[in-house]
Structure 1
């Protein structure tokens, strides 16, 4: 990426040209250069704000539903199997719509796609509680998740393209904001529902307000050619527009990404950690409630699990970028997950807070996976392809997990078999994570 750094906006400031030895009249191009510097500073700050606000909205649609799943099931007349299908909708939508994100980004620009994605999320969250019946609820949920899906794929792309020398810190900031939004939704959905009259419908719809705020920073990027920077001074490279498309003419041809073992390992790792995450977000509150924990406390326990990602999501990517191999981090996270599942199996209520903490640490495999997406590709186009492939394939892999948990729960009458399944899936997650963490790039493997 060294060759791309001169033409990429990588920080909130731009180096000033060296001062002349003696006072001299300003060259004709100086106003243009100053405009470029001002535009770049403003755009970079707006881009960081947009990344943070978008990340805050990437999980409340899911964790707010997990906190009220019992009420939603009763209100819509869902069986355990249908509820399991509902918890499988997020990875299905992420897989299907995630494949379209790179093509949309090349045509309209990543900023424009994220902006429309946040608008779709707002509409879906507002409509789904009042759509009427299970089918309408699922359709509106799919609309919201479509917006999340394209943003999921494009966030690592935006970070790699515009912050190539800050991949670890920017991925950490994005992941930390994502974990913060996840935990806030889990902790406050039940109290908000009570404050709004006790009905689950406004308790879910209220999260549309947060999504609407996230639309605003991306509005300037809807028209990339209209918001480009002023021409650069003579001899200085032109700064790229943050709204510009990911792909441009003259870029390297598409990689044969499926020839890369690292890409496959990363996709499977992404899929298995997503399976664990969506089972946790969709079912963990119910596990605690069935063990005798109150609804409010169960929501707080889920919030604690999600909140563990706030500090760790910032620390783990920074540590990961300093290591040639990320396998040791994968193993530590996996062992925490196994310990948490063992606790849920043997004493779900007795050690509830400890199990919530351990599973929260384990769920930080997500920011690690995002960081490895940026590290396992050498070029910007490579990151686009790897992000789309790993996330879309990974989410496809994760679809059966939450559904299978719902089926096992309904037919076994307890949580023993579902928890055993979760623990068993942690073992292959650790194995493929070690493979994905090896020091190599997909470009090297695809070229062989």
Structure 2
């Protein structure tokens, strides 16, 4: 069982705040730093098109796998120690990649880095709920903004840093950021071990209120709340990964955009998620009917895809900006994992379940999009497939419009849950 307290002491809360922010700042560095300097890396590490493709497919696969494993690991080690394990994996992974001369070593370092990030993805919501139960909206906004920075800054500085100091420094430097993130969590572990027996007993007594029954993961599988959140996470990941992989080619073929312009429009697609990361968690924490926010995200996707289907050359910037606003569903899922659970054990299990399955579905998005394009020699069928995934998110949003809680639904018969809907 994950140990928790309902409110952290002031010193512990400050350490936790710094630690949560720094963890979020590390959750995309290994992904973002790679593609801008892949040619420089290829001069020393024999990377062919197959190995580059495999390395590019690893992030969602690792996020899914280690997202599913995170609840079991945290139940055994506790939240804080699991965070430390994840950060250590990032440090070792960054350093292995920076020092590698073979594809095998580079790949092993990549997997280690992504494993730590996969654990961090899942642990952020329960950490926010544990230390800041009354500030879930603002803290979720802060963490999602930090994750956006973790995506943007490494890709921005990778090439200049590689030109000035070499690609090994450009990759290895992010190990230092992970080491800095370790400091507050190690301090929290030391602080926890210095607690008196009385404090431990009081915390344990309080924890009985939040105790989660055994076989919690199996119960999450039976909850329609969990599956509704999976539907939104899967749709958001599937659409985002497919667009990041194929949007430039689509715009070049259908809107006549040159490579530089299509690359800039891809950056617009990615940037549009930042305002949503700030606003949506705060709104979700204050609104009773979050289904409205989910349908807003669905509407953005629909407007963008209709434009790309019907008149792609008429206003490509508008269509891309609209489609890029659709992934506001991701920060919504992040905050709803906290808002739709009563217990800390529940939020850990739900976070792992939703992100594990969601990233698994997202991982096949680029492949399915490309296969449909290859088979039909058209962009219509792939875009219609994205519409279908958006419809899944919309249906999930209708179910989540009512403030149902995970723990109230995981023991109920499926027929009863459907009847209430």
- With structure 1 as the length reference, what TM-score do the two structures score? 0.76
- Is the 8 Å Cα contact of residues 91 and 113 (structure 2) preserved in structure 1? yes
Q: 1:334 to 1:249 in 2, by over 3 A?
A: closer
SS of alignment partner, residue 121 of structure 1: helix
- Is the 8 Å Cα contact of residues 186 and 303 (structure 1) preserved in structure 2? no
Give the structure 1 partner of residue 416 of structure 2: none
- Is the 8 Å Cα contact of residues 295 and 394 (structure 2) preserved in structure 1? yes
- Is the 8 Å Cα contact of residues 95 and 396 (structure 1) preserved in structure 2? yes
Q: 1:208 to 1:299 in 2, by over 3 A?
A: farther
Aligned runs of 1:23-34 on 2, under 5 Å? Answer: none
Which segments of 5 or more consecutive residues in structure 2 lack a partner in the other structure? 413-421
Deviation string 1:163-201 (CA, Å, 9 cap, x unpaired) is 11211121111112112222323444344444556xx66
Give the structure 1 partner of residue 61 of structure 2: 92
2:399 equivalent to 1:435: yes
The equivalent position to 2:32 in structure 1, one of 60, 63, 71, is: 63
Give the structure 1 partner of residue 259 of structure 2: 293
Equivalents in 2 of 1:116, 1:158: separation in Å?
Answer: 15
The equivalent position to 1:167 in structure 2, one of 133, 136, 153, is: 136
Give the structure 1 partner of residue 276 of structure 2: 312
Q: 1:414 to 1:55 in 2, by over 3 A?
A: farther
2:158 equivalent to 1:189: yes
- With structure 2 as the length reference, what TM-score do the two structures score? 0.80
Q: CA deviation at 1:419?
A: 4.5
Q: CA deviation at 1:324?
A: 1.9
Give the structure 2 partner of residue 176 of structure 1: 145
Give the structure 1 partner of residue 415 of structure 2: none
SS of alignment partner, residue 76 of structure 1: coil
Give the structure 2 partner of residue 253 of structure 1: 213
Give the structure 2 partner of residue 25 of structure 1: none
- Is the 8 Å Cα contact of residues 271 and 394 (structure 1) preserved in structure 2? yes
Give the structure 1 partner of residue 181 of structure 2: 214
Q: CA deviation at 1:222?
A: 4.3
Equivalents in 2 of 1:173, 1:314: separation in Å?
Answer: 7
- Is the 8 Å Cα contact of residues 265 and 317 (structure 2) preserved in structure 1? yes
SS of alignment partner, residue 154 of structure 1: helix
Give the structure 2 partner of residue 76 of structure 1: 47
SS of alignment partner, residue 363 of structure 1: helix
Aligned runs of 1:261-272 on 2, under 5 Å? Answer: 261-272=224-235
Q: 1:302 to 1:67 in 2, by over 3 A?
A: farther
- Is the 8 Å Cα contact of residues 263 and 436 (structure 1) preserved in structure 2? no
Q: After superposing the two structures, state which structure 1 stretch, 282-291 or 46-55, moved more.
A: 282-291
Q: 1:422 to 1:130 in 2, by over 3 A?
A: farther
Q: After superposing the two structures, state which structure 1 stretch, 127-136 or 346-355, moved more.
A: 346-355
Give the structure 1 partner of residue 20 of structure 2: 51
Equivalents in 2 of 1:425, 1:401: separation in Å?
Answer: 10
Which segments of 5 or more consecutive residues in structure 1 lack a partner in the other structure? 11-39, 241-245
The equivalent position to 2:324 in structure 1, one of 357, 360, 363, is: 360
Deviation string 1:270-304 (CA, Å, 9 cap, x unpaired) is 1221222333445556666884233xx66654444
Equivalents in 2 of 1:348, 1:66: separation in Å?
Answer: 27
Q: After superposing the two structures, state which structure 1 stretch, 368-377 or 426-435, moved more.
A: 426-435
Q: CA deviation at 1:117?
A: 0.8
Give the structure 1 partner of residue 296 of structure 2: 332
Q: 1:225 to 1:312 in 2, by over 3 A?
A: same
Equivalents in 2 of 1:423, 1:193: separation in Å?
Answer: 40
- Is the 8 Å Cα contact of residues 220 and 227 (structure 1) preserved in structure 2? no
Equivalents in 2 of 1:395, 1:430: separation in Å?
Answer: 18
SS of alignment partner, residue 58 of structure 1: coil
Deviation string 1:409-433 (CA, Å, 9 cap, x unpaired) is 6777786654454344222222223
Deviation string 1:342-392 (CA, Å, 9 cap, x unpaired) is 455677788554444323321221110011111221222222222222122
Give the structure 2 partner of residue 369 of structure 1: 333
Q: 1:424 to 1:191 in 2, by over 3 A?
A: farther
Give the length in aligned residue pairs: 401
The CA RMSD over aligned residues, in Å, is: 3.7
- Is the 8 Å Cα contact of residues 104 and 113 (structure 1) preserved in structure 2? yes
